[in-house]
């Protein structure tokens, strides 16, 4: 049997590479969309990740899915469980649908990537051509920065829209207790009234 030692672990070179899958959606609504048990995004991510594992000749040994967890922070239960898993178990690949499933800020992305690298795990994206080459690392950094920009810009746009709605006399969110949420159509547009 051909064996090698890799960071104090014995790895059988003839066995298929071991892979993990990490899946994430940001909101509970996404996780329950369409009345499906997992919504639409989680199964689509899973299918893409399993195809990627097959293309790599790897066997998926574990799946980690954060359902309704924002990537603004790395304090997500399944992400933390996955990081603990790779620290203790030999794994060749962590497969994600996109880099932004792991992190939406550059600092967390770097910390997660270093934890994977220290554990001897290669991060693989189904959607982006990232690897350990200089061009792959550059693309990873760019995609991570774009994810952070998207998250911060979206937050600013939501605030801007909420301020404009308040200026127009609207209320932000649902009506307070004791009031009704009433909707009507004016000039072909839905207008939310609070009464």
Give the contacts of 144 (CB within 8 A, at least 6 positions apart).
99, 100, 103, 106, 109, 110
Dihedral pair phi/psi, residue 135, rounded to 5°: -70, -35
List the catalytic residue out of 2, 26, 145, 151: 26
Of 87, 64, 88, the closest CA to residue 76 belongs to 64
List residues bridging with 3 in a β-sheet: 12
Please give the structure tokens belonging to residue 46. Answer: 């899973």
**41 vs 39: CA distance, rounded Å:** 6
26 as an active site residue: the answer is yes
Please name the residue that has the structure tokens 């792959």. Answer: 136
The set of catalytic residues is 26
């Amino acid at each position: 049997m051909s064996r090698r030692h890799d960071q104090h672990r014995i790895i059988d070179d003839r066995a298929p590479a071991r892979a993990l899958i990490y899946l994430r959606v940001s909101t509970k609504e996404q996780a329950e969309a369409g009345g499906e048990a997992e919504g639409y995004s989680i199964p689509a991510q899973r299918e893409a990740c399993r195809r990627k594992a097959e293309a790599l000749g790897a066997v998926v040994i574990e799946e980690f899915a954060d359902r309704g967890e924002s990537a603004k922070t790395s304090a997500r239960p399944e992400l933390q469980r996955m990081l603990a898993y790779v620290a203790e178990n030999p794994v060749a690949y962590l497969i994600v649908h996109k880099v932004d499933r792991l992190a939406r800020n550059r600092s967390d992305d770097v910390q997660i990537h270093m934890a994977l690298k220290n554990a001897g795990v290669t991060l693989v994206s189904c959607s982006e051509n990232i690897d350990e080459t200089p061009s792959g690392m550059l693309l990873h950094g760019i995609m991570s920065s774009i994810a952070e920009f998207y998250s911060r810009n979206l937050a600013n746009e939501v605030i801007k829209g909420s301020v404009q709605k308040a200026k127009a006399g609207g209320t932000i969110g649902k009506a307070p207790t004791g009031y009704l949420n009433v909707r009507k159509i004016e000039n072909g547009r839905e207008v939310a009234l609070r009464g």
